[in-house]
Chains A and B, each alone.
Chain A
Amino acid sequence: MHTIDWIVLFVILFAIVAYGIWKTKDVKNSQSYFVGNKDLKWWTIGLSVMATQASAITFLSTPGQAYDDGMRFAQFYIGLPIAMVILCVFVLPLYYRTNVVTAYEYLENRFDVKTRTLTSILFLIQRGLAAGLTIFAPSIILSSILGWNLQLTTIIIGVVVIIYTVLGGAVAVSQTQKQQMIVILSGMFIAYLVIVYKLPADITAGESLDLAGKMGKLNVIDWEFDLSNKYNVWSGILAGTFLFLSYFGTDQSQVQRYLSGKSLTESRLGLLFNGIFKVPMQIGILLVGIMVFMFYQFNPSPLHFNKANVEIIQASSYGDEYALLEREHDKLQEEKRDAIYALNKAMKSDYEVDAAQAEVMTHLSNERNLRSEAKELLTKINEETNLKLEAEDTDYVFITFITKNLPVGLVGLLLAVILAAAMSSTSAELNALATCSVSDIYRRSINPGKDDNHYLKTAKITTALWGLIALFFASFASLFDNLIEAVNIIGSLFYGVILGVFAVAFFIKYVRGTAIFIAAIIGEIIILTMFYLEHIEVIELAYLWLNAIGCLIVIVLSYGIQLLLPSRTQD
């Protein structure tokens, strides 16, 4: 990395953190530490909600996904605006009317204190584990490509976040998230312009889009109903809406962002802002990935994007085999480039386009096969040694492009984008973990009735403790095969039951505290048992289904138990 890049990276991150620390003067009591001073306008809430959801992995993985698989991943977010409207209509008014600090506090009003404590603990386990991965994911990718020390990178990201989140609580989180989103959005926009500028002079931006379309990369929307296809309009609307309802409606790291709003109106507008801009933002990030793909059609691309893996292969007994694959890949790339120029010419003259397109697609499929062969070498090495090398390299595409092909100065800016995204998500998570620990458990059940200053101090210590726990989990994260999946699996183990409890709270007035409490415990045991049975391969079940199963078990069981309980006055 060039000195200028280091300076750009350091100045941006230092300015954001310093601003966050300076804003801590606005923290007056434990209430403002948990939900700010209730003075946020809608656009700050909207940016804050978006910054919490978008972590470093969003900006590292998504362009790589477009490179590999086109733009169909955008459909994952189609249900999000629908979820935002449902939350604005049904959920926000309840949270505001009962003036709660955490989502689980509402459950005490609706059920009882044991249900509040149980759901809060489920959230703490799930989010505490996930926070470790939020920090670890960018560290492993950056350390692999930039040669940074993995442990040191993780610790530096963690400690910086812990410092400003401990000092400033929710106030520092929302203020820094605003700056972080500005850096993120402008950084990605500049990256897009630079990539388009770096395409060959004889190919216009419009032509490169046409070519990407002919190469099957611009498949944004797919209306075909197919249960086995992860991303189409129907899976986005049906499954996606449920996922986003539980994430934005019951996950404290999100709920806390919009409870900091000045009024119900501002919070609603903030969520609607998120609903309108989230899909275009994701499409924009995917489009950056498409342009990286086009750039690599005209410039040499590596056979495998994870540099650390390549070095291991080259040093192994498969080094010669890999070198042979690389030579074949180089030759293929030249032929493919000629075929793409021929396709462009055919499209301009509208003559024999189909034949030229078929030629390009053949080259693309050959390249895919070569890349698979390189991945198979990694699998062989894994089998022969105790290494657990990740064969998938799509997470490494964008960072490879950034470090190899962006001009000096922009490398620092884009690294700042990735680290700002990691920090914005982590700070919101730590702040939410501390809020639940102190508000739902410590102040409610363990040590009630102290003065406010005592709880403010406890909240700061708890934030630091959760930060250290997250770093502790991060040091074990390398045991997971796939990080994005690990985050989703951890979520699926607990989200379903939490969503079930909230669904009963909102829509089934008949069920009371004891019934829901028993149903939630039985439901969680069933979910963990199913996951274990799947793990030892007794049953076969995709983990995403655990969300729906957990939710349904809690709804049905709680209703059944309520029927069996002697009478409603017993709670």
Chain B
Amino acid sequence: KPPVLGSWRNLYLAVLALHALVIAFFTYFTYIYS
């Protein structure tokens, strides 16, 4: 078990979700600043 989120699967999914959020944010960033 990892120290957070209960299982490794949850933690991996959380990392990938966070990464997707970063990409989504910068897609929006690119759009508003173009």
Contact = CB atoms under 8 A, between A and B. Distances in A.
A85 B27 CA distance: 23
A218 B30 contact: yes
A275 B33 CA distance: 26
A279 B22 contact: yes
B29 A275 contact: no
Nearest to B24: A221
B31 to A, nearest CB: 9
Nearest to B31: A221
Given A85-B15, A279-B22, A280-B22, A268 B2 contact: yes
B7 interface: no
A276 to B, nearest CB: 6
A212 interface: yes
A296 B6 CA distance: 50
A314 interface: no
Interface string B1-34: 0110000100110011011001100110110111
A275 B15 contact: yes
Interface of A: 74, 78, 81-82, 84-85, 88-89, 209-210, 212-214, 216, 218-223, 233, 265, 268-269, 272, 275-276, 279-280, 283
A212 B33 contact: yes
A78 B23 contact: yes
Output the residue of B23, B29, B32 with the most chain A CB within 10 A: B23
Majority SS of interface residues in chain B?
Answer: helix
Given A74-B26, A272-B11, A279 B34 contact: no
A269 B5 CA distance: 13
A214 B33 CA distance: 7
Contacts of A233: 23
Nearest to A275: B15
Nearest to A211: B33
A223 B23 CA distance: 10
Contacts of B22: 279-280
A265 B16 CA distance: 18
A209 B33 contact: yes
Given A78-B23, A279-B22, A218 B15 contact: no
Contacts of A209: 33
Given A88-B12, A218-B29, 11 more contacts: A74-B26, A210-B33, A218-B30, A219-B30, A220-B26, A221-B23, A221-B30, A223-B27, A265-B3, A269-B2, A272-B11
Contacts of A218: 29-30, 33-34
Given A78-B23, A268-B8, A276 B30 contact: no
A223 B26 CA distance: 11
A279 B2 contact: no
Contact of A275 (B2, B19, B30, B34): B19
Contacts of A81: 15-16, 19
